[in-house]
């Protein structure tokens, strides 16, 4: 099945709606993970990135950057695809969808990355995109409804054989 047909337009819209209802969820989760579970001295770097480029906090605070969310995600997807970083790439594919990128744009971006970084980046990225979209498709087995970003993150992590996130 073509990548652009894995999710229906209504399913993509449900993902976008769920993301829009809690745009800060993934950035808040990233900040918590960086300070609590990774390398605490590295938390300052993660916090600076989140504070500069992402909607975060409760209540949500807009970042001071001039980059749009779409441009941010295009940049990050290019970097991660060129490094074959499957799980982070998958998360940013979802984040890009939430920010309004289409599946076709994500796939086309991988073609460009592959042209400059190598065919393995293209094929690996396409495999990661297929796995991500298939995992997100599974969230609609009981019908189409907005999906919270942490629920989407859990589905993505499960597809890459990682435990689901604990948001608390």
| Distance, CA of 155 to CA of 161 (rounded, Å) | 10
Task: Write out pLDDT tens, residues 7-48.
Answer: 999 999 999 999 999 999 999 888 877 665 667 777 788 888
What percent of the chain has pLDDT above 70?
93
Find the helix packing angle between 69-82 and 103-117, rounded to 10°. Answer: 40
Please report which confidence band the pLDDT of residue 143 belongs to, taking 50, 70 and 90 as the band edges. Answer: very high
Predicted TM-score (pTM) of this structure: 0.90
| Per-residue model confidence (pLDDT) at position 162 | 60
Decide if pLDDT at 85 tops 90. no
Q: Do 81 and 73 contact (CB within 8 A), yes or no?
A: no
Residue ranges and CATH numbers for the domains of the chain are 3-22+68-159 (1.20.1290)
């Amino acid at each position: 099945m073509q990548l652009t047909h894995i999710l229906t337009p209504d399913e993509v819209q449900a993902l976008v709606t769920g993301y829009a209802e809690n745009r800060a969820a993934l950035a808040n989760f990233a900040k918590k993970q960086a300070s609590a579970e990774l390398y605490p001295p590295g938390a300052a770097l993660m916090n600076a990135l989140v504070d500069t480029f992402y909607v975060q906090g409760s209540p949500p605070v807009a970042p001071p950057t001039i980059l749009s969310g779409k441009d941010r995600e295009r940049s990050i997807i290019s970097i991660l695809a060129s490094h074959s970083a499957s799980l982070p790439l998958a998360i940013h594919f979802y984040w890009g969808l939430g920010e309004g990128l289409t599946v076709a744009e994500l796939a086309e971006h991988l073609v460009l990355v592959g042209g400059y970084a190598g065919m393995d980046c293209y094929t690996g990225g396409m495999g990661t995109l297929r796995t991500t979209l298939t995992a997100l498709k599974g969230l609609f087995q009981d019908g189409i409804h907005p999906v919270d970003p942490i629920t989407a993150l859990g589905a993505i992590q499960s597809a890459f054989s990682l435990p689901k996130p604990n948001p608390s």
